[in-house]
């Protein structure tokens, strides 16, 4: 890493830099090297990030490696942008640059520093386009792929276990809400009798079903609204009677899109919730004393799996639990999105991601949380032949096939 840092520093004649580097690669060290090349006695530096925990890490890093910069550096969260003096800073460093969309980007356009540095391990093309606008397309792009970082010995070689699961088709313990109208009575029916109830517009149909049946129902509903959304692109004469009826009731393409997205989120939650029994089986098989970090889909799942060691914004002892984990007073944590960014975990034996998503940024950030471990093992659950599998396979594309171990449970 030292050689890489020096090589970037030698390019400091460029005015602005985009550091597209994997999580845990050392982006802050590269940034500080550039700042050291640019800084003068009159310089004032601004560092922006997405969370107070990240800000604290910046201050600790500066104290350890670059204490001479502390007196001339301000560190803020993006949420505080509206309070910051636009004319004060000569060098601005954008940590987690994938967070500068929308209103934050508009606020950043009001600044005019001599040097911009943007960094992230999860940049999308649209994020790069925003930085291009910010710097008037005058920046040097430093990009390193995860595989290359491992080949160089900067990041540890990972082991990823893709665990394929199967739906249960024997127990009708789930209830699928085919409609939810508070003005109507609910009618609970078995899956095989659902059609008669669905024809009755005076009731909400609640269908008792197995996991296979539930998945079929929600996928059919998702595809239906996806089709309605696409029909809005057709000429009026080519649209179906159903879509014309929806239009007469005030539906628009965005309404259908929102409905489709809500169903997609509900399907993802369904995948996550029915994995609980599989996780418990896996957890019971891990070696005694294993240090395990688990990313759950939501707060309810984290509390259900282990409320004592769940970490989220509703629990006042969350920060203490993280500290206890890193000092090895406890050996397990059950987290959600709260710890996706800015918090590092030491000596993790197993990182378990219960539910993947198509948003690869958050997925990669979860994976990176165990980056301070020597040989972290990452476990991902998925249901074969479903959208759930597509989430996982998309994430695994960035890794060498020999790092991936396929399992069934």
Please spell the DSSP secondary structure of 53-117, one letter per residue: HHHHHHHHHHHHH-GGGGGGEEEEEGGGGGGS-TTS-SEEEESSGGG--THHHHHHTT---SEEE
Rounded Cα distance between 386 and 270, Å, is 12
Rounded Cα distance between 274 and 296, Å, is 12
**DSSP 8-state class, residue 179:** -
The whole-number pLDDT of residue 342 equals 55
Report in angstroms the alpha-carbon separations of 349 from 91, 159, 346, 380. 39, 11, 9, 14
Q: Which of 14, 48, 231 is nearest to 139 (CA)?
A: 14
- At 13, give phi and psi (nearest 5°): -65, -20
CA angle 180, 183, 184 (to 5 degrees): 65
Q: What does each of the 409 residues of the chain score in pLDDT, given as a tens digit?
A: 888 999 999 999 999 999 999 877 888 899 999 999 999 989 999 999 988 778 888 898 888 888 999 999 999 999 999 999 999 999 999 998 988 888 999 999 999 999 999 998 777 888 899 999 999 999 999 999 888 988 898 888 889 999 999 999 999 999 999 999 999 999 999 999 999 999 998 999 999 999 999 999 999 999 999 999 999 999 988 999 999 999 999 999 999 999 999 999 999 999 999 999 999 999 999 999 999 999 999 999 999 999 999 988 888 888 899 889 989 999 999 988 655 455 677 788 999 999 988 776 656 666 665 544 556 789 999 999 999 999 999 889 888 999 999 998 7
Which 3 state secondary structure label does DSSP give 364?
helix
Report in angstroms the alpha-carbon separations of 146 from 102, 368, 403. 28, 11, 12
**What does the block give as tokens for 207?**
């269908």
Are 140 and 16 a contacting pair, CB within 8 Å?
Answer: yes
Are 295 and 379 a contacting pair, CB within 8 Å?
Answer: no
The whole-number pLDDT of residue 61 equals 85
Which 3 state secondary structure label does DSSP give 78?
helix
**What does the block give as tokens for 170?**
């024997």
Are 160 and 392 a contacting pair, CB within 8 Å?
Answer: no
The whole-number pLDDT of residue 30 equals 93
The whole-number pLDDT of residue 360 equals 63
Which 3 state secondary structure label does DSSP give 372?
coil
The whole-number pLDDT of residue 98 equals 86
Which sign does the torsion angle of CA 398, 404, 408, 409 carry? negative
Rounded Cα distance between 401 and 399, Å, is 6
- At 303, give phi and psi (nearest 5°): -70, -35
Rounded Cα distance between 48 and 88, Å, is 14
Q: Which of 81, 59, 78, 56 is nearest to 70 (CA)?
A: 59
Report in angstroms the alpha-carbon separations of 39 from 31, 45, 302, 340, 356. 12, 9, 45, 32, 42
The whole-number pLDDT of residue 103 equals 92
Number of helices (H) and strands (E) in the chain: give both, helices first. Answer: 15, 16
């Amino acid at each position: 890493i030292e050689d890489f840092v020096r090589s970037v520093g030698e390019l400091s004649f460029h005015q602005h830099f985009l550091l597209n580097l994997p999580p845990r690669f050392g982006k802050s060290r590269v940034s500080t090297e550039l700042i050291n090349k640019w800084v003068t006695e009159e310089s004032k530096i601004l560092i922006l990030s997405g969370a107070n925990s990240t800000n604290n890490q910046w201050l600790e890093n500066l104290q350890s490696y670059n204490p001479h910069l502390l007196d001339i550096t301000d560190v803020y969260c993006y949420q505080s942008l509206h309070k910051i003096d636009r004319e004060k800073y000569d060098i601005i460093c954008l940590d987690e640059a994938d967070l500068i969309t929308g209103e934050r980007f508009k606020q950043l356009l009001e600044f005019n520093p001599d040097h911009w540095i943007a960094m992230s391990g999860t940049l999308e093309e649209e994020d790069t386009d925003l930085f291009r606008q910010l710097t008037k397309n005058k920046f040097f792009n430093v990009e390193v792929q995860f595989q290359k970082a491992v080949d160089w010995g900067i990041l540890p070689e990972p082991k990823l276990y893709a665990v394929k699961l199967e739906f249960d088709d024997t127990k009708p313990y789930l209830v699928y809400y085919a409609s939810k109208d508070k003005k109507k009575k609910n009618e609970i029916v078995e899956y095989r009798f659902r059609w008669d109830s669905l024809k009755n517009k005076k009731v909400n149909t609640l269908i008792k079903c197995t996991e296979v049946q539930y998945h079929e129902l929600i996928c059919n509903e998702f595809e239906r609204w996806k089709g309605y959304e696409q029909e809005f692109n057709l000429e009026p004469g080519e649209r179906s009677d159903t879509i014309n009826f929806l239009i007469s009731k005030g539906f628009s393409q965005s309404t259908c899109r929102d409905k489709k997205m809500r169903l997609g989120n509900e399907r993802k939650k369904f995948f996550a919730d029915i994995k609980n029994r599989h996780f418990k089986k896996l957890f019971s098989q891990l070696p005694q004393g294993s240090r395990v970090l688990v990313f759950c889909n939501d707060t309810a799942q984290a509390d259900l799996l282990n409320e004592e060691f769940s970490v989220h914004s509703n629990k006042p002892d969350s920060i203490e639990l993280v500290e206890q984990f890193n000092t090895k007073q406890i050996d397990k944590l059950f987290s959600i999105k709260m710890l996706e960014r800015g918090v590092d975990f030491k000596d993790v034996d197993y990182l378990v991601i219960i539910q993947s998503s198509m948003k690869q940024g958050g997925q990669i950030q979860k994976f990176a949380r165990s980056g301070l471990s020597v040989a972290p093992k990452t476990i991902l659950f998925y249901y074969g032949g479903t959208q759930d599998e597509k989430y996982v396979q998309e994430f695994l594309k960035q890794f060498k096939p020999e790092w991936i171990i396929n399992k069934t449970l």
